[in-house]
Amino acid sequence: MTAAGPGRVYDALVVGVGTAGLVTALRLAKQGADVLVTAKGVGATHLTSGTVDVLGYTPERVVNPAAALPDFVRDHPEHPYARAGLQAVGDALDWIKLQLPDGALVGSLEANFLLPTAVGVPKPSALAPETMAPGDLRNGGRFTIVGLAGLKDFYPAYLADNLSRARLGQEDNGRVEARAVTISPPTGGVADVTPMGWARRFEDTEFRKTVIAELEPSLDGGAVGFPAVLGLDSARTVWQELNDALGVPVFEIPTLPPSVPGNRMARALRAALTRAGGRVVMGGRVIGVRGAGERLEEVVVDAAARPKTYRARDYVLATGGFASRGLEMDSYGMVREAAFDLPVTGMPPNAEARWADEYLAAHPAARVGIGVDDELRPLDSGHGVVYENVRVAGAALAGAEPWREKSGEGISLATGLRAAELILERRGG
Amino acid sequence: MVEAEVLVIGGGATGAGVARDAAMRGFSTVLVDRDDLAMGTTGRFHGLLHSGGRYAVKDPPSAAECMEENRALRRIAADAIEDTGGLFVSTPWDDPAYPDLFHSGCIEAGIPVEILSTAEILRREPRLNPRISGGFAVPDGAIDAWKTVWGCALSAKEYGATILNYHRITAVHRSDGVVTGATAVNAISGEEVAISAGFVVNASGVWAGDVANLAGCEGVTVLPGKGIMIAMSHRLVHTVVNRCKKPADGDILVPIRTVSVIGTTDTEADGPDDVAIPQDEIQLLLEEGEKLVPGFRRARALRVWAGSRPLVKDDKADDADTREMSRAFALIDHKERDGVEHFLTITGGKFTTFRKMAEVTVDRMCEHLGTARSCTTAEEALPDSGHHRFYWLGARLARREETLNDDQLICECELISRRRLESAMEQRHTQNLDDIRRTLRLAMGPCQGGFCIYRATGILHSVERLDYSAANSALLRFLQERWKGVRPILYGDQLRQARLDDWIFQGLLDVEHLT
């Protein structure tokens, strides 16, 4: 691997190693572009559930995202989906499925699954890992929720209690019947095992045998839901073996971060990027940029030993929102974008107007972010393009409340892929 | 029907203190509060155990009383107290003439005071502003209000008292000019409870006027003097740090448990239930914090709240300036004032002097009842404080290390294990996670429940055998209560944390669609 010499100019420099950044870099690298990803942290993909949520609520529950999106972007013209275009959303879903082993991610933009959350709410997701899809509640059914004594991040009785009363809507058939079982497989005398710790244990054949033996007598023919800890690198094998041995559909239910399925996704994308020849440099914060007119010329990163300057033809900012410190707000209420110091839009000037009184309401300040044009280029307050060779992707974008809309992965995938396509189009043209 | 010799209305420090004192003197006692114990002013202060230094210049008798009670509480409530010590430091913004007045005031009030050089102060507290010019050490401390109040309540219970939290008094009964009891309504079940009592003590703090009205004693005016406080993550200091100047807004930083609390402001509240938090007061506290600890604005603010000091109306002071009014307490004898017998109102004062206020009140009650029974509350320790060892910051970690492999850690920020949480739930027998929060400091750390509240809900569902809707309400109600305290201070790293918590509760769990 060669270090970036002083004269080297990358085709693209991506800042941020979350879903949006990885997707952009992977798409570019696969087309033969010379791509460097630089990141301060590890990204937020490992916090996600492993599902691809595109649009879950508008605020009514969305049955068919493809059908709901045109109205949604018409009503929300500043939303990242409106900026990226609806074609990008569909393309992104098709594309991400192809990046993972065949069948690992299932579903489509035409129909949301309803998958149980760890509190037993049926949550709409467009795509789901194969290990979660059998938990789909749309047709009702019987479910046994399995808890693990020693896993504090999963409460099967509470989950089953809510699941049995889940409102599935008129378009859904059947009832959900759910019950809880807690098993105590051996943990080696440790009372507090993390989800990742359980995932490692599930990769062990002998451990799985004890799980199967303990669980079998309490099954009633219904599908079996486990917390999403069924292996990290060999989840497919673990899941298939449990399906075969228990003789009923087995599925995973995501719970608190750090999430095992989120980690699987992050690792899969990183591995694919490495295979495609992309390079990732971790632990470096962007501490300065140099622009010339409408172009960004170079980026200075605070590397381990000394500041390092990188140059590229195109840049992608995928540093995330407030949660990832891509955006920062100080105690005076001033918001800034942390890496390129791009203009930030959407902040209500009056402090009292930023956040609603009700926690679960829509909050004006939640939509703060970078405003972009149709080519995902950052805009200033006069709607002029700040840098014509910079694209913004993911949670740094203004105009969305991903956790409310259930659109986080969809936004990162669609804008990430779209940013890459725009760069490729310009190179080709 | 509940029968008792004494009914105490109000479960703050004063009421719990009165209930304990009365029970220890052999009176059968009932303590009622409309909410949980210590949810009003008592649970909304910064946690300062006064040495009296703050009153040394303006009000030496109050200062002396504080010091005396500081010693008494150290004897009886060690488990609730951290012996942090206190500093009074002069910053460049403070009146240079004040330190001399302060020093002589402390000596006059009998407060042990030590003169410290700037170098010594900075050695003790390296994060303080290096531009300070000298100061003093006094025996301030930090005291946990919830532990103290529950300690008093449990002690009272050991002496036979009944504790009725979540009971709102709706009527005070009188017969021929003598108070004979009250009607309470259970705030959770709605059930009405008649309480027959030979004597009633109104210790309802900022609500004392409302309760006196129920007994037909009109015109007791308690002005709620509202102040806001901000809990900052971590211990920015390990000693209570006061500005050495005339008491004013934002002049004290109290290290308590895992946080540091900056206080406070002073405005006339819009009624006793007004806990609104104005943005300009937050900015004011941050400005003042910056003077004490440079970089304060970049530190992480966890939560903000408002509490109201009960200040009994005094015609001699200007109503507009509540800080100038006396902080000494008021014992109102309604026989003398209104010709209503067997009814006392005790209000005003400060947390540090609650035991003394209780003693004076029960003394007066004994006079009325024609019995002489002596007070022992200054000598007998509260239930968890019999060991006379002060709380120390590493206590929970030490306990955690003992059970590292055989118990789960449910609240990582405050080091609360599953067994400890389950046992608190069994003892409190509540469906309200905020009650558990105050009991254990559950969810009071940096993540403000981001991780532990989902777990606590699952555990509560099982311990209390809740149905889905009660468990869901517990979770949603907790999140809404938390929002009130974090909404006004969402910036910096706490905004970052809040976004992660949104992701967990809404993005991953979809709690907004719980039924």
**Å from B250 to nearest chain A CA?**
16
- Overall CATH class of domain A9-96+264-428: alpha beta
- Closest to A330 (Cβ–Cβ): which among B459, B468, B492? B492
pLDDT band at A227 (very low <50, low <70, confident <90, very high): very high
- How many CB contacts within 8 angstroms connect chain A with chain B? 153
Choose one of B265, B289, B313: the last residue of a domain. B313
Residue A217 pLDDT exceeds 80: yes
Examine the domain organization and report whether B308 and B399 are in the same domain. Answer: no
Containing structural domain, residue B475: 395-513
Interchain proximity B472–A162, CB inside 8 Å: yes
Residues A298, A311: Cα–Cα separation, whole Å: 5
pLDDT band at A171 (very low <50, low <70, confident <90, very high): low
The pLDDT value recorded for residue A6 is: 58
The pLDDT value recorded for residue B317 is: 40
Examine the domain organization and report whether B93 and B236 are in the same domain. Answer: yes
Query: Could you tell me which chain A residue has the CA closest to the CA of B466?
Result: A158
Q: Are A227 and A260 in contact (CB under 8 A)?
A: no
For residue range A135-160, what is the model confidence (pLDDT) as tens digits?
Answer: 999 989 999 999 999 999 999 999 99
Residue A173 pLDDT exceeds 90: no
Q: Where are the domains of chain A?
A: 9-96+264-428, 133-253
For residue range A15-54, what is the model confidence (pLDDT) as tens digits?
Answer: 999 999 999 999 999 999 999 999 999 999 999 999 999 9
Residue A238 pLDDT exceeds 70: yes
Choose one of B266, B298, B313: the last residue of a domain. B313
The pLDDT value recorded for residue B312 is: 86
For residue range A259-313, what is the model confidence (pLDDT) as tens digits?
Answer: 999 999 999 999 999 999 999 999 999 999 999 999 999 999 998 788 999 999 9
Examine the domain organization and report whether B285 and B402 are in the same domain. Answer: no
Contacts of A48 in chain B (CB under 8 A): 507-508
**Å from A94 to nearest chain B CA?**
23
The pLDDT value recorded for residue A304 is: 79
The pLDDT value recorded for residue B318 is: 45
Examine the domain organization and report whether B309 and B407 are in the same domain. Answer: no
For chain B, residues with pLDDT lower than 50 are 314-326
Contacts of B506 in chain A (CB under 8 A): 360, 403-404
> Where in B271-387 does DSSP place strands (E)?
301-312, 329-333, 343-348
For residue range B286-309, what is the model confidence (pLDDT) as tens digits?
Answer: 999 999 999 999 999 999 999 999
Residue A328 pLDDT exceeds 60: yes
Q: Note whether residue B95 is domain-resident.
A: yes
Longest dimension (CA), chain B: 68
Considering Cα of A176, then A180, then A181, then A186, what sign does the dihedral take?
A: positive
pLDDT band at A172 (very low <50, low <70, confident <90, very high): low
- Closest to B458 (Cβ–Cβ): which among A117, A158, A402? A158
For residue range A44-93, what is the model confidence (pLDDT) as tens digits?
Answer: 999 999 999 999 999 999 999 999 999 999 999 999 999 999 999 999 99
Examine the domain organization and report whether B99 and B241 are in the same domain. Answer: yes
Interchain proximity A118–B454, CB inside 8 Å: yes
Contacts of A255 in chain B (CB under 8 A): 508
Other Cβ atoms less than 10 A from the Cβ of B138: the count is 26
The pLDDT value recorded for residue B327 is: 54
Measured between alpha carbons, how far apart are the two ends of chain A, in Å? 30
CA atoms within 13 A on the CB side of B208: 36
Total domains in chain B come to 2
Q: Where are the alpha helices (DSSP H) in B370-414?
A: 395-402
The amino acid at residue A162 is N
Strand partners, A118: none
Contacts of A228 in chain B (CB under 8 A): none
φ/ψ of A206, rounded to 5, equals -65, -40
Choose one of B285, B313, B341: the last residue of a domain. B313
Contacts of B286 in chain A (CB under 8 A): 331
Q: Are A34 and A142 in contact (CB under 8 A)?
A: no
Q: Note whether residue B412 is domain-resident.
A: yes
The pLDDT value recorded for residue A42 is: 92
